[in-house]
Amino acid sequence: MESLENEPLPEQVIILIVRDQPGTLFQISAVFSNRGISMSSIQLHEESIPCNGKRCTRLIIRFFGEESRKKIIIRLLSRLDCVLESDDSG
């Protein structure tokens, strides 16, 4: 009988420095939702980070998916104007 059990997906972590402005979270979450990915957690640091004179903040996003998915998600996020830096936690 064919097994329906799959290997669990690894947890991925993406750290972003984003502009603290209306619409930022909406645009970022759309990148995930349009690709059928559910974010398991979003951690938004309350303290603002000065970044070229603009108010920015650090965003930590966790989700379950393959490494290749993280790679493309980071590339897509980095194309958004509201994302100033993107990195993964390895």
What is the rounded distance in angstroms from the CA atom of residue 57 to the CA atom of residue 50?
8
Torsional sign, CA 71, 66, 81, 47 = negative
Residue 36 interacting with another protein (CB under 8 A):
no
Total binding residues toward another protein, as defined by CB under 8 A: 13
Give whichever of 28 and 56 is closer to another protein, judged by the CB atom: 28
From 34, 36, 46, 53, residue interacting with another protein (rule: CB under 8 A): 34
From 45, 54, 55, 71, residue interacting with another protein (rule: CB under 8 A): 71
Which residues lie closer than 8 Å to 12 by C-beta, 6 or more apart?
62, 63, 64, 65, 67, 69, 70, 88
Residue ranges that bind another protein, judged by CB under 8 A:
26-27, 30, 33-34, 68-69, 71-72, 75-76, 79-80
